[in-house]
Structure 1
């Protein structure tokens, strides 16, 4: 097993900003979320989410200018990528919320968008809260930039006392990678239902982390894929032994010990 931080290069065609959009508007996450939500029928989407066992996919969500902000952030954070390899399970790179807080505040503001959270509450039917400030998974970027980068079948298991919801946003996709998933695996009254999506920049997926079994298929040589995850919880409390398990998993499989145990390093990341 190897854990190392390294710099990589991503080349992607820019997504043009909306015509006539001011620089201030382009840099306003809350305004972008408002424009994204305006045409959506939340009632119908709530029904779709429920019928699919707490899963919803929208091929178009964020406006082009907001997506470009995420692309710019993903490229700017390349020197901060921490690569991991777990034989038989995953390979790839990631950047935690702690680094994002320092270097990509647009993402942090998007995560805290009141309109986004209110809409997610309508879809999930739950009262949602932000993940605690020491949770490196609260919002994070995931990079697939080498042949064979992937993650195997898993659930986004909640170590919190309540539920944890995952929101995936497509950032860069110049790859053949797909998100494979299985619906209803925790419902004894329904047969498992497989599915697969290749979500493009600006798309959105939301699901209950404990209910969706999923994986990302391996990338090929020369391909690039970057996605952004946002995590919301219904109860931010976590028991000490669960905190230890969660921290060790994050340190080994995702962000490195310095990121996860940053307090022990004097808060430096």
Structure 2
């Protein structure tokens, strides 16, 4: 891998053909070291500050997703929009969006629901979980700021090309682990997914960027944003 240019926030990948094939097949690609070291450190500092200042603790069952649990601390995209020019500018970065569009083969649009557009999630208590669901808006870029480690739980579990929550936990499901600084890009409206429970008290902190497509760009509000963020 090589850095694109000092002014750009992301790393260049030399295996774009593989990434595109993998995304088309699995609706998911892992992107190690997606952001340059300097940009990641700036993002880390900004997100942790916002968490320390504005996070809300959530503990409920989501009716719209067959009452799957949410035990999580969040910072809403509305807070980020008002308090962080750094994250909002990164979300709109042309180089970043062009890269994701090349992988997906689709044009990406800003998510209309600002609460769901860019957010921060943290699991930090034993058994914290982000239960099974599919997303309103199709594309999500997740970047890991703090990892619970390979023995800490908190892995992504997803089922490519399935919308059935009952497929989670079966042999159809795939698990993905994220270390600090790693990202993944996913078509999250086409594959049911969840973040598995933490096995101990350790932080799993991620920044979430969500993008719409031509079909969803006029959906004003996500079914989950009020409960998850407000």
TM norm. shorter chain > 0.5: yes
**Is 1:117 aligned to 2:97, yes or no?**
yes
SS in structure 2 at match of 1:151: strand
The one of 141, 149, 156 aligned to 2:135: 156
The one of 11, 19, 32 aligned to 1:59: 32
Give distance in 2, aligned partners of 1:130 and 1:184.
23
Could you tell me which residue of structure 1 aligns to residue 158 of structure 2? 181
The one of 79, 82, 85 aligned to 2:59: 85
SS in structure 1 at match of 2:40: helix
Give distance in 1, aligned partners of 2:121 and 2:83.
16
Give distance in 1, aligned partners of 2:202 and 2:115.
26
Flag the 1:184–1:193 CA change in 2: closer, same or farther, 3 A. farther
Could you tell me which residue of structure 2 aligns to residue 139 of structure 1? 118
Query: RMSD of aligned C-alpha atoms?
Result: 2.3
Count of aligned pairs between the two proteins: 208
> In 1, are the aligned partners of 2:159 and 2:192 still within 8 Å (CA)?
yes
Give distance in 2, aligned partners of 1:147 and 1:70.
26
Using the TM superposition, give the Cα deviation of residue 63 of structure 1 relative to its aligned residue in structure 2, in angstroms: 2.0
Using the TM superposition, give the Cα deviation of residue 91 of structure 1 relative to its aligned residue in structure 2, in angstroms: 0.5
**Is 1:41 aligned to 2:15, yes or no?**
yes
Using the TM superposition, give the Cα deviation of residue 178 of structure 1 relative to its aligned residue in structure 2, in angstroms: 0.7
Using the TM superposition, give the Cα deviation of residue 156 of structure 1 relative to its aligned residue in structure 2, in angstroms: 1.3
Runs of 5+ unmatched residues, structure 2: 1-5, 62-67, 164-170
Deviations 1:225-253 (A, max 9, x none): 111111111132127xxx4xx36x3222x
SS in structure 2 at match of 1:137: helix
SS in structure 2 at match of 1:89: strand
Using the TM superposition, give the Cα deviation of residue 201 of structure 1 relative to its aligned residue in structure 2, in angstroms: 2.1
TM-score, structure 1 normalization:
0.70
Could you tell me which residue of structure 2 aligns to residue 14 of structure 1? none
Deviations 1:147-171 (A, max 9, x none): 221111211134xxxxx21111111
- Which structure has the larger Rg? 1
Give distance in 2, aligned partners of 1:213 and 1:93.
21
Give distance in 1, aligned partners of 2:104 and 2:79.
29
**Is 1:214 aligned to 2:193, yes or no?**
yes
> In 2, are the aligned partners of 1:74 and 1:226 still within 8 Å (CA)?
no
Using the TM superposition, give the Cα deviation of residue 81 of structure 1 relative to its aligned residue in structure 2, in angstroms: 0.2
Could you tell me which residue of structure 1 aligns to residue 229 of structure 2? 255
Could you tell me which residue of structure 1 aligns to residue 168 of structure 2? none
Give distance in 1, aligned partners of 2:48 and 2:208.
16
The one of 38, 48, 52 aligned to 1:75: 48
Could you tell me which residue of structure 2 aligns to residue 223 of structure 1? 202
Give distance in 2, aligned partners of 1:218 and 1:151.
8
Deviations 1:181-235 (A, max 9, x none): 112326xxxxx74211221222121111221111111124430111111111113
